[in-house]
Structure 1
Amino acid sequence: MSAEDLENYEADLELGLYREYRDVVGLFSYVVETERRFYLANEVDLQVRSAGGEVFFELTLGDAWVWDVYRSARFVRSVRVVTFKDVNVEELPRAELNLPS
């Protein structure tokens, strides 16, 4: 497989993932960004924790969709994320969830 073939394959995967996102975004109430992933979810619980002088975030999502091109099953019932980086959680009004075609 050439480098160009690999780039085309990855571009096709990303385009397919974006199309799936566009199709499902209206089913969710929250957009969640961590340093490693992007999620859509209907339930979000964000807790700030500390241990040994370190602060970290514990994030629990229910009824979620994961932006990950290499996951075969992006819909998940429950997700638990622990991170030392900031977490961005936004509740979006329904009007903002409708993406243009």
Structure 2
Amino acid sequence: MSAEDLENYETDMELALYREYRDVVSLFAYVVETERRFYLANHVDLQVRSAAGEVYFELSLADAWVWDVYRSARFVKSVRVVTFKDVNVEELAKAELDLGGGAGFPR
């Protein structure tokens, strides 16, 4: 497989993942970003913890979808994430959920 073939394959995988995201985003209430992953979820519990002077974040997500091109099963019943970096949790407004017809987004 040439470098160009590999790049085309990865581009196709990313496009398929975006299309899946566009199809499922309306099923979820929250967007969660960590330094390693992007999630959609219907329940989010974020706890700030500390141990030995270090602060970390513990996230529990239920009914979630994971943005990961290499993951075969992106829908998960529950996820527990521990991170030392910032976490961004946003509640999706229903108006934000309509991605269809947005300029610049492929269908």
TM-score normalised by length of structure 1: 0.98
Between the aligned partners of 2:92 and 2:20, the Cα distance in structure 1 is: 19
Runs of 4+ in 1 over 2 A off after TM superposition: none
Identity across the alignment (%): 84
Q: Aligned-pair distance for 1:24? A: 0.2
Q: Aligned-pair distance for 1:45? A: 0.1
In the alignment, residue 95 of structure 1 is paired with which amino acid?
A
In the alignment, residue 61 of structure 1 is paired with which amino acid?
L
TM-score normalised by length of structure 2: 0.93
Question: Is 1:46 aligned to residue 57 of structure 2?
Answer: no
The count of aligned residue pairs is: 101
The match for 2:59 is 59
Question: Is 1:95 aligned to residue 92 of structure 2?
Answer: no
CA RMSD of aligned residues (A): 0.6
The match for 2:13 is 13
Structure 1: stretches of 5+ with no match in the other structure: none
Between the aligned partners of 2:24 and 2:73, the Cα distance in structure 1 is: 14
The match for 2:32 is 32
* 1:17-55 C-alpha deviation (Å, 9 max, x unpaired): 000000000000000000000000000000000000000
